[in-house]
Amino acid sequence: MRSIATRLVLFAMLLGVACSVIVEPPGRLRCDPPGARAGCGDNAICGAEGDDFGYCVELTCEMGQEICDGLDNDCDTRVDEELADRTERCDARDDDCDGFIDEGLDRDGDGFTTCGTTDCVDPDGMCRLDENNIDCNDTLAEVNPAAPELCDSIDRDCDGFAVPPGEPPDGAVAAPRDSLCMDVVGAPFCESGLGCIPNDCRAPRGEPCLPPTICGPDGTCVTVDCTPETCDARPGDVFCSSVTGDCEPRKGNGESCIQNDECSSQVCALPEVLGIARSEPRICVDACCSDNDCALGEFCWDAGTGTRSCVPTTFEPALHGRASLGSTNAGQSCSADGECRSGLCQSNVCIGACRRPSDCPSGSACAPINREDGSIVTACVPGARESGQFCESDGQCAWGDCQCVFGVCGTCSEDEACAIDSDCGGGGCSYYLAGSTNDAFAACNFDGSPTGACCTSEQCGADMVCRPSMVSQADGRFWPMYCDARRL
């Protein structure tokens, strides 16, 4: 058995070892956490020595926010610390300090960002923001400051115009923008929203028909027994028909048509506007933001093409990517798209189309929704969940909080649904393509210029209607809606 003296010596040795761990060096004051000034006195800061402790040191720099520049900006004796978790912003800086600038912010991969990042890939380049290099639509690779302009409804080169401005000189018919159609046989006129069109009586600059003739569906003048003026003077909603030569009642939504003037809405749309797999006949439709804009017995159909149209609830053609329409109203339970009048069943509830919050009932959010089938549609979603709320799938999260990550909605976009430019403050209401099915939706582009977007004719001026405008894309066509003049 050890003696009492031996045990005292061992105890003293153990006590000495334990005490040596907490003995601070002379003249140094331990502090926690690194970077804090409390407890260190004036002109001093807690300098890091480990992950969670440090020592008070003299403050020798001017404190600021830490940025990725190889310097100790916040004066905590550490350089570029804790930047890896920061979100990369479009600002020509390496916000997350990973050696890349504004990476992942060119959504369409065309080499341009929404803030105009310039010369930031080349290490020898003078990385900067250039207002002349701003991508005005970062979901379409065919749209950027270097893109060639085409004759359609999209401002492809981001100069603020869908087609080059300029009317024909006095006494002339051709306009400067017609140069975009010089390679199109038989269609020399360039008109925004119409594309390259023939020189006939249907063209805004074409030769008009003189009484007793009116413009027929093939662009030739047809002799009739009526005039638009005499029909307008008759009771009821009638028009001068180039087919019968007499005043005929205008047609309602969903009915077949040949010309715009046949329709009460003044819009006779191609079937592909509604995603219908046929070429003719055309269909009378009326633009809408939501079901609230449609007459009794109709609903606001969003076919994912960019166009919203009031159609009868009995309207059940074969639709691209959608089942035939059911009879269940928005807000009621469902198990499949085909059960809903809108054709959209989300999280076992029928959802209806919208373009802004006022289109939706209380408790619902108007947002482009990521659907389980990979498509995107802007609709009123009851209880759409925001960033930080629990979720089971992306489809339960509102567009601005679109990803369900580890059971929680996380922010991945700042897009805001819109109907017209005034919904976006100083920006414009632009159309975008997204989702695995390349669906079109409208959202605010706060860095862009006004576009003239609409979803009802009431939002347009006198003698104007809200109509689909054809836009050609590398992968097909889509049909955004803009205010446009009434025409045949």
- How high does pLDDT run on average in the chain? 78
- The pTM score is 0.66
Q: Is residue 79 part of a domain?
A: no
Q: Is residue 283 part of a domain?
A: yes
Q: What is the mean pLDDT of residues 22-27?
A: 58
Instruction: Clarify whether residues 341 and 428 are in a common domain.
Output: yes
Residues 41, 487: Cα–Cα separation, whole Å: 78
Instruction: Clarify whether residues 169 and 315 are in a common domain.
Output: no
Q: What is the mean pLDDT of residues 112-135?
A: 84
Instruction: Clarify whether residues 433 and 338 are in a common domain.
Output: yes
Instruction: Clarify whether residues 389 and 480 are in a common domain.
Output: yes
- Amino acid identity, residue 226? C
Percentage of the chain exceeding pLDDT 70: 77
Lowest mean pLDDT among 143-157, 238-252, 332-346, 362-376: 362-376
The pLDDT of residue 14: 44
Q: Please give the residue range of the domain that contains residue 144.
A: 136-195
The pLDDT of residue 17: 43
Q: What is the mean pLDDT of residues 78-100?
A: 76
Residues 442, 308: Cα–Cα separation, whole Å: 11
**pLDDT range class, residue 403, cuts 50, 70, 90:** low
Q: How far apart are the first and last CA of the chain?
A: 115
Is residue 246's pLDDT more than 90?
yes
Q: Is residue 46 part of a domain?
A: no
Q: What is the pLDDT of residues 338-397, one digit of tens each?
A: 888 777 888 888 888 888 878 887 777 787 777 777 777 888 877 666 666 777 666 566
Q: Is residue 56 part of a domain?
A: no
Q: Are 445 and 424 in contact (CB under 8 A)?
A: yes
Q: Is residue 51 part of a domain?
A: no
Q: What is the mean pLDDT of residues 394-414?
A: 60
Instruction: Clarify whether residues 283 and 417 are in a common domain.
Output: yes
Lowest mean pLDDT among 129-138, 244-253, 288-297, 310-319: 310-319
Residues 202, 187: Cα–Cα separation, whole Å: 12
Lowest mean pLDDT among 289-303, 382-396, 419-433: 382-396
Is there a cis peptide before residue 169, judged by omega within 30 degrees of 0? no
Q: In terms of C-beta distances under 8 Å and separation of at least 24 residues, what long-range contacts does 124-128 make, across chains too?
A: 127/92, 127/101, 128/92
Instruction: Clarify whether residues 156 and 265 are in a common domain.
Output: no
DSSP string, 301-352: EE-SSS-EEEEETT----BTTBPPP-SBPTTSB-SSGGGBTTS-EETTEE-E
Q: How many CA atoms lie within 13 A of 313 on its CB side?
A: 14
Which of 179, 195, 211 terminates a domain? The answer is 195
The pLDDT of residue 368: 74
The pLDDT of residue 76: 65
Instruction: Clarify whether residues 187 and 268 are in a common domain.
Output: no
DSSP string, 84-142: TTSPP-SSSS-TT-SS-SSTT--TT-SS--TT-EES-SSTTS--EE-GGG--S-TT-TT
In the chain, how many domains are there? 2
Q: Is residue 38 part of a domain?
A: no
Instruction: Clarify whether residues 150 and 281 are in a common domain.
Output: no
Instruction: Clarify whether residues 180 and 289 are in a common domain.
Output: no
Percentage of the chain exceeding pLDDT 90: 14
